[in-house]
Amino acid sequence: MEFIYRLFSFVEKNMHKTIPIICPSCSSRVSVKSLVCKSCNTNIEGAFDLPILASLDLHEQEFIINFVKQSGSLKLMAKQMKVSYPTIRNILDKIIEHINKLEK
């Protein structure tokens, strides 16, 4: 339980407001219908799927960002998050499994 608390505390420090990825009505994955340029206010309309990484939940995205920042070192990730290497490996394996499901 302590690990979960540390993990969420770590992620909460780096939280950003993100777009929803799941429909609140039916729990299906959402797609993007419109994009707007902040500079010139041009609207682009269509049906666009979210990129796989954007389809991950916030905690998974933060883990991947930190993983890349640590040059892909699970050892450094474990040290940074103050958990064991096998724990970090298990988290990564779950994210990989989630990505594989999203690709199907």
- In tens, the pLDDT along 10-34 reads 555 555 566 777 888 898 888 889 9
Q: How far apart are CA 84 and CA 51, in angstroms?
A: 31
The contacts of residue 59 (CB under 8 Å, 6+ apart) are: 7, 8, 11
Whether this model's pTM surpasses 0.75: no
| Residue 94: predicted pLDDT | 97
Would you give per-residue pLDDT tens digits along the chain (104 residues)? 565 555 555 555 555 566 777 888 898 888 889 999 999 999 999 998 888 888 888 899 999 999 999 999 999 999 999 999 999 999 999 999 999 998 88
Burial class (CB in 10 A: 0-12, 13-18, 19+), 104: exposed
